[in-house]
Structure 1
């Protein structure tokens, strides 16, 4: 456990990508099985310890220290695992002297029920130092937040053993932690693992932002960029899986889509929900959110939010891998593939017909459909390659909407922002002069602007509610957002999509901020 704890501590304080890659690679080369396998599972989000819940950890610490002290400390530190690790008292009876390995901790916790896990976890915490306790708690709750993505962790493994990261990515979802067969292969002790009968994930092809460039439509095809979630659907040997862009298996949340896809192959598309208002066309992202993040979905939800996939590309047809073909040929194959699918669950994203780029600009400018996020530009001769490759695909998002809103509440951030009030709730005025919250944002500002806003919060606090502060309603923030939708979950009746802070409007009085009615007129 000590080596894993040292790795996490180093990753938290290391900024550079290459430096992070080296830290993980060095750890994997120096650490024996199965510890390094469980470490990779934790770093990639593939470690599930269902018996351990954050509420149990809070209960454990509040049995051992003053609950008020813990809550005040948690508010100041901004991270439960770090707070508990530092406050955890030394046991009355000295703990076992032998060190606790990562594999021992995982194997013990992963087989325990929710009722038995707290006692086992407490016994482990008694045996560890503060750094090791932090690592154990982070791992147990699945919230590492150490500035390392799953893809970067896999890249580090690939670099350590001299293999291609895309090849590793394709094998990953056919293997289970602690990945013994994988490490045997990369170290030359066994043949490459195969996943012939497994619906494996293949890395998505991604796009660069177009920014101010222009392209020739003789070389590029244009499609709408739909506002859902990008998914890959794979069917092989009677099994169907849906994967998100990060490679997470989301089949459980969309069993209706999985059940309708029975053609051998792999396709890439946008997962959407049908909307009643638009006559069965795609509804807003707000509707799709009702089904995201669920392991199981009720019959009522399946009926109220019917999902479908608008297909962009085809990667595999039957057993034939098509990724090396140019986009034009893959498009022809996709058009031949789609009619074999259930039309209630699958359709194809149409190519936008435009005479030239200027014409395309005009078409894009007029698009305010609830489910349209912008335009995709795909080079006609491009193969399907994982990751972002310069010059092949571009995303051209529609211009954001903006509104002037008044800051109402602020909350401490997490990680490197835990010392600042960096999460802001803002509102707009009703016709009766009441200020109602319309959104929350924490991105879009520079470090200098963060310090300005943090100082405002501290100097203009009206009330405190745990980690949240209510502030004087005097500061206006210009908020940029992609779209806005009706919402019964919010008192204001609206929900913003991707709100971020565009600028601080110190020049504008709070009573001149936007009216809620203005936002409601933008609802799609």
Structure 2
């Protein structure tokens, strides 16, 4: 457990992607089985424990110390695991420190009634770093800046193989991945990827550099289609198994049973998951009503019917098409979708163009209808094979330029992980006239990225120095016509929303820059955003 705790601590304090990669690779090379396999499962989100919930942790610590003192400590620190790790009043005579595999296997087998006693014993035996790692493991919220793909890349580096080979077999193996490590270390053959309904690593696009790329590329070599504003999915129906995956391989089948029912074919489609009503695409906000839910009811599915707009075909029957050029895959896709008897899957149409200038005009002024809510355009070379990862040259994404508005900071909340000591989640607003003609701020969005570490420290100090009210972990800062901190906010899109007091909701808002120089009264008005909607 100590080695795993040390790994998480180093990862949480390391900003560099390559440095994180090296830390994980070194750990996997030096740790023993099955501990390293369970550590990999934790980093990739493959572990969950029904018997260990945050409520159990709160109950355990409040049985050892004053509940109000713990509440104050939690409010100050801002992270449950870190707070408990620091304040836990350990009892003498605790057993030895548990191994990581011992913790995982016990939590998988224990009942909820037994979990609290186990947790207390482990917390007594571990030091502060070990307690923090244990609690992060139990709650599943590591928050150490490591994606599932980065952990898989460390495995690939360990074995000197391409990450696509890891992703091909990932859904056919289980923690603690003894067969995976045996292959990577040359002790056995590669695990078979031949699991029905498996995920196939996706091909990604490079962002286009208009000045450089268009000067060297021939438009006749590329097909264009809209970049739809949903989420990338892979729909697989293979030998009786139906699955719906995100582009990172997360299985979201349970959240979209209506889509799963429509997969009445043998093959694997690449496409965009969207809410579609009578063939028309709804806004991303509609799709958000369906995302990140463990269960969905009939009412929600009827109100927000999901479907797939297909743009590539990876498997046709039992034939793997990924080695074919895009032009041929596209012909196969058109025939494949044409044979389907469902309205939940349709075809992403190609957009004819002859010059880059003509395509730029289309991107700037799309025709009415669905393209008006697309994110931009995709460019795909006609002769490109379907290659996992992000190869340079075959595919490009040409997103629309982001919208910009000036907004005033209204509320701030503590972050998580290495940001748990800083106010790093910001709610901002724009000016709105009330019935009497007075200008008041109304919230329009929330952002927690787009600034440097140094800027974070400056904003955090501003929040602490100008707090006017507290609401649990949230602080209200001074924001009026005479005083306030202005953010230039960039966002990808805007839509009407009955859930927000302002009546609008932003798509992917981020802090573009901090306008220390701009008076708060000169920030934008809600009418500016309403004109953008129109």
Q: Normalising by the residue count of structure 2, what TM-score does the alignment of the two structures yield? A: 0.92
> 1:42-87 deviations in whole A, cap 9, x for unaligned?
0111111122222322232232223343333334433221221121
1:410 matches 2:412: yes
Which residue matches 1:449?
A: 455
> 1:94-149 deviations in whole A, cap 9, x for unaligned?
112x3311111111112334444233222221221212111111111111111221
8 Å Cα contact 2:13-2:418 kept in structure 1 = no
* 3-state SS of 1:206 partner: coil
Which residue matches 1:489?
A: 499
Which residue matches 1:252?
A: 254
1:80 matches 2:90: no
8 Å Cα contact 1:224-1:374 kept in structure 2 = yes
8 Å Cα contact 2:380-2:394 kept in structure 1 = yes
Which residue matches 2:379?
A: 377
Matched ranges for 1:72-111 at <5 A? 72-91=72-91, 93-96=92-95, 98-111=96-109
Return the alpha-carbon distance in structure 1 between the equivalents of residues 487 and 21 of structure 2: 38
Matched ranges for 1:85-484 at <5 A? 85-91=85-91, 93-96=92-95, 98-213=96-211, 214=214, 215-275=217-277, 280-367=279-366, 369=371, 371-432=373-434, 433-473=439-479, 474-484=484-494
Return the alpha-carbon distance in structure 2 between the equivalents of residues 260 and 139 of structure 1: 37
> 1:290-310 deviations in whole A, cap 9, x for unaligned?
110112210111111110100
Larger mean Cα displacement after TM superposition, 187-196 or 491-500? 187-196
Q: Report the CA distance between 1:334 and its aligned residue.
A: 1.0
Return the alpha-carbon distance in structure 1 between the equivalents of residues 253 and 526 of structure 2: 38
* 3-state SS of 2:313 partner: strand
Return the alpha-carbon distance in structure 2 between the equivalents of residues 51 and 519 of structure 1: 46
Return the alpha-carbon distance in structure 1 between the equivalents of residues 238 and 279 of structure 2: 30
Query: Which runs of 5 or more structure 2 residues have no equivalent in the other structure?
Result: none
Q: Report the CA distance between 1:287 and its aligned residue.
A: 0.1
Which residue matches 1:63?
A: 63
1:38 matches 2:38: yes
Q: Report the CA distance between 1:23 and its aligned residue.
A: 2.5
8 Å Cα contact 1:224-1:375 kept in structure 2 = yes
Query: Which runs of 5 or more structure 1 residues have no equivalent in the other structure?
Result: none
8 Å Cα contact 2:199-2:234 kept in structure 1 = yes
* 3-state SS of 1:434 partner: strand
8 Å Cα contact 1:274-1:306 kept in structure 2 = yes
Structure 1 runs (4+) greater than 4 angstroms displaced: none
What is the count of residue pairs matched by the alignment? 519
